[in-house]
Amino acid sequence: MYEAYTVFDVFSELFVSRFAMAEACALISLSDFEEAYRLIYQTYLKDGFLSLWRVILYAAIQFCAHDQYKRLLGGYCGFQGKALPPVPRLLAGSMAGTTAAMLTYSLDMVRARMAVTPKEMYSNIMHVFVRISREEGLKTLYHGFTPTTLGVVPHAGLSFFTYETLKKMHAGSVLSQLI
């Protein structure tokens, strides 16, 4: 049933995986990491912490929602604790993307509004929220949400579908190597 592995087998597998990781890291030069850091730092200097917070918040909501939707759909489809079939996998990703977009869309709209108006019009992000709410109504914060959702649904669905499919394939290949 199960093959016995020696300490040598375990260490050789670790060495091979570490070697592959070192090869992958060699392909990504240090300058790429420096450039990524510089981009994040410049974004922080130019647009402030809230511009980074928006991206972090979106990703956190999306991944958390994805886990919850996987659990809910798994229970509904009878796959609790197992990998979902393709259609529920796609649906969980789409719903997670829509949830994240719905909860962070107003931040995007406010950021866009600040980018196209003179600096004298708004003093900070809270000023934009308050002024839009008073003068134009809260509904204005979600103008354009429908077209955004039409783009998010296939994008997030396919992204999470691909991730989950590759994860399932990888788990199967690792398991077959162990057996």
pLDDT of residue 159: 92
Give the whole-angstrom CA distance, residue 167 versus residue 83: 10
CB 145 within 8 A of CB 99: no
Residues 120, 93 contacting (CB under 8 angstroms)? no
Indicate if the pLDDT at residue 27 is higher than 70.
Answer: no
Q: What is the mean pLDDT of residues 83-101?
A: 91
Average pLDDT over residues 9-20: 40
How far, in Å, CA of 125 to CA of 130, rounded? 9
Confidence at 174, pLDDT banded by 50, 70, 90: low
User: How far apart (Å, rounded) are the C-alpha atoms in residues 64 and 71?
Assistant: 11
Using 50, 70 and 90 to split pLDDT, how confident is the model at 147?
A: very high
| pLDDT class of 19 with cuts at 50, 70, 90 | very low
As a whole number, mean pLDDT of residues 108-115 equals 85
Mean pLDDT, the chain, integer: 77
Give the integer Cα–Cα distance in Å for 152 and 132. 25
Map out the domains of the chain with their CATH numbers.
1-47 (no CATH), 49-178 (1.50.40.10)
Q: Using alpha carbons, select from 12, 106, 94 the residue that is nearest to residue 57.
A: 106
SS3 48: coil
Taking 70 as the threshold, does the pLDDT of residue 30 lie above it?
no
Instruction: Please indicate whether residue 98 or residue 59 has the higher confidence score (pLDDT).
Output: 98
Q: What is the pLDDT of residue 31?
A: 60
| 20-34, 119-133, 160-174, range with the lowest pLDDT | 20-34
The stretch 141-158 carries a mean pLDDT of 93
